[in-house]
Structure 1
Amino acid sequence: MSRTPAPEAVIVAGGFGTRLLPLTARRPKHLLDVGGVPFLEHQLARLAGVGVEHVVLATSYHADLFAPTLGDGSRWGLRLDYVREEEPLGTGGAIRNVVGALRDDPDGAVVILNGDVLSGHDLAGQLADFDRPRDGRRVDVSLHLVRVADARAFGCVPTDGSGRVLDFVEKSNDPVTDQVNAGCYVFRRDVVGTIPPGRVVSVERETFPGLVAEGRLVTGFVESGYWRDVGTPEALVAASRDVVLGVAPTPAVDPVPSGARVAASAVVGAAEVGGGSVLMAGARVGDGAQVRGSVVMGDAVIGPGARVTDSVVGPGARVGAHAVLTGAAVGDDARIGDGVTLAPGARVDCHARIDGPRDQAAPGSGESR
């Protein structure tokens, strides 16, 4: 008996990450630290865990940084290829752009992951459901769907009793279902080839509705495991905290019972670090400081007596003694002076300098003085 080929996977990782500025000024959002490792490591480890052997990374913004960080995939028992899109092509266009890197197996399964969603859903179960024929027909595309308490802010995906997707309904004050798209798909290889090449295509607005209209078998796999879009600083901090505390299941790291993940070369004085915090290599925390639920990136310094809560401090940044940060995003090599209290939700640009209490960053402005 011939062996069924292992599923392949595509991770769509071409976004600019504008909602995450200033953290993405020098790197793609997909390589930001979440739970102590670059975000994509969570997805690669998860794919390897369900038997995927080949992953194609669809890149664009700062494409040159992916391979030095992730390598050839051998750390996870994978073969990892990189395909760069020269111009943004949307979700569907990015998938179509990598078709030449996939096997030429019409019935093969191709897992598609959005490169900014942390998920603990049952991917193995979704693959098994994808391989289950309906009335003798193969499934063409499977979508992971989750149920939400209030679907008014989402496009809805109604299904019938067999799981077949009936429609894609735009946001409404009177949703037709509580099921929404969670951003993990399984395609047949030949369906990927039907996406128009060389132009912007949205799978959500064009590909999926078109397949349903053509009578193709598109199914929904409804399963409400952990999932979170990490597209904002607040969401990135929350996802990192959830990984450290074990709320977000991921094979990439083990949860830390103490509630703080500290890199081997980080330095912590007589400080309190916890609440799901992460200190990356070279980070230093001064005596009497408190770091709660935050991500402190490589070589950043938190001064004595500072209070850093639910914040991200970029590589090489300095937070002065007795400074107070709450929900802040501090860019690379920025300087926050002694005694400064930033407005909640402040964003401080790379290399910015705030010398005293009168020079505070405005919340969400992306600027500082």
Structure 2
Amino acid sequence: MMETSPDDGHLQAILLVGGKGTRLRPLTLGTPKPLLPTAGVPFLAHQLARAKSFGVRRIVFATSYRASMFTEAFGDGSAFGLDLVYMTEQTPLGTGGAIRNAAQALTCGPDDPVLVLNGDILSGHDIHAQVALHMSRRAAVTLHLTEVEDPSRFGCVPTDADGRVTAFLEKTPQPVTNRINAGCYVFQRSVIDTIPEGRVVSVERETFPGLIDAGALVLGYVDATYWLDVGTPTAYIQGSRDLVLGRLESPALPGPCGECLTLTGAVVSPEAKVSGGSVVGGGAIVEAGATVIGSVLLDGCVVGPGATVIDSVVGPGARIAGGAVLSGVVVGDEAVVGPGNELLAGARLWPGVVLPEVAVRFSSDV
């Protein structure tokens, strides 16, 4: 990992964080997806730390949903050794429109590279190498492409023998390649200025295909290291778990890698079992006989005696009574799961909901 970018050591970036995170509700009802606690810190803390390690010094946040919460969380960036500024869209402008709007706060020249990051991606790829490829080939845009086992779930991005992107293909049952758009781009600064201003623009459907059709050089930087879109509860839990277990290194991890990460103020009974990359948030309590595997326990929640929590998220202040079983579940803030309940994969308990002391199985939203 390099400590400087390929130019002058002051690479600038745009961070796209305007989405509402609807697939992660109820966790995102009050908190933007990029600010959800992930392996003990806000998700974006991991991205900011990695970006800094690759020479990024100035980052423009492209915000929309609950924009003020990003400023409250990260301020001017001085605590992270970064210069952070915020550009807010009054109405959502799409990925391209957001990039164009945020670019007003860039201070680099027209021929400089600009890194664009998506606020819901965990990636172990080499940003320095992506930027170096972009600059050596003098590309208009260089896209990080990753390889997945089932590309039919994504849009495919084929390239020719020289690495030039030849098309952007919608989801298809017979994909021509297993390489997909991984959501990290390097733009030439002047190319961003060609994106129409003040209207909704999609880089995937409009900007990139338009550049290709015009004969501009759009490159693919192919990398098969760790990559995860954390847009669903299952993926969010997996991302936190992988960071705690050390499957993806992060300078922002607030403790050593291992089977669990216990934050300041948490109380875990010596007779409880917490493993699988679980996080126990500040002030959370795990009582005797409880089993917690691969889960995220947020601040102030309680897992009662003999309860079992597997691959789940338990929201702030929520209470899981003794003997309850959760597997693949999201429990909202201050919700209560009474004794004897078993919540199965896919269940989501909305904030404040109380399940009484009955033996009942749920497999859908509650």
Equivalent pair of 1:341/1:357 in contact (CA under 8 Å)? no
2:92 is matched with 88
1:129 to 2:130 alignment = no
Runs of 4+ in 1 over 3 A off after TM superposition: 254-258, 358-362
Partner Cα distance (1:63, 1:362) in 2: 34
Equivalent pair of 1:354/1:360 in contact (CA under 8 Å)? no
Partner Cα distance (1:54, 1:258) in 2: 32
1:235 to 2:239 alignment = no
1:17 is matched with 21
Mark the runs of 5 or more structure 2 residues left unpaired by the alignment.
Answer: 1-6
2:4 is matched with none
Aligned residues: 359
Q: Which stretch of structure 1 is more off in the superposition, 166-175 or 33-42?
A: 166-175
What SS does structure 1 have at the residue aligned with 2:169? coil
For the aligned residue pairs, the C-alpha RMSD in angstroms reads 1.5
- Aligned-partner residue type, residue 356 of structure 2: D
Partner Cα distance (1:203, 1:234) in 2: 27
Mark the runs of 5 or more structure 1 residues left unpaired by the alignment.
Answer: none
Partner Cα distance (1:102, 1:5) in 2: 15
Kindly provide the CA deviation profile for residues 63-122 of structure 1, in whole angstroms up to 9, marking residues without a partner as x.
Answer: 121122122212321101111111111111111111210115101111111100111111
- Aligned-partner residue type, residue 350 of structure 1: P
Matches within 5 A, 1:136-147: 138-147=138-147
Equivalent pair of 2:244/2:258 in contact (CA under 8 Å)? no
2:171 is matched with 171
- Aligned-partner residue type, residue 313 of structure 1: V
1:361 positional shift: 4.3
The 1:15–1:176 alpha-carbon spacing in structure 2 relative to 1, beyond 3 Å, is same
Equivalent pair of 1:332/1:350 in contact (CA under 8 Å)? yes
Equivalent pair of 2:342/2:362 in contact (CA under 8 Å)? no
Partner Cα distance (1:288, 1:55) in 2: 46
Matches within 5 A, 1:142-157: 142-157=142-157
Equivalent pair of 1:6/1:51 in contact (CA under 8 Å)? yes
- Aligned-partner residue type, residue 77 of structure 2: G
1:347 is matched with 348
1:306 to 2:310 alignment = no
1:255 positional shift: 7.0
- Aligned-partner residue type, residue 139 of structure 1: A
The 1:207–1:257 alpha-carbon spacing in structure 2 relative to 1, beyond 3 Å, is closer
Partner Cα distance (2:273, 2:219) in 1: 48
- Aligned-partner residue type, residue 104 of structure 2: G
Equivalent pair of 1:16/1:29 in contact (CA under 8 Å)? yes
Equivalent pair of 1:245/1:256 in contact (CA under 8 Å)? no
Matches within 5 A, 1:193-208: 193-208=193-208
Equivalent pair of 2:99/2:192 in contact (CA under 8 Å)? yes
Partner Cα distance (2:76, 2:284) in 1: 28
Match of 2:82 among 78, 84, 88: 78
Partner Cα distance (2:282, 2:72) in 1: 17
Match of 1:30 among 34, 43, 46: 34
TM-score by length of 2: 0.94
Kindly provide the CA deviation profile for residues 214-259 of structure 1, in whole angstroms up to 9, marking residues without a partner as x.
Answer: 1111100001110101011111111111001111222222774541
2:3 is matched with none
1:225 is matched with 225
1:268 positional shift: 0.8
Q: Percent identity?
A: 52
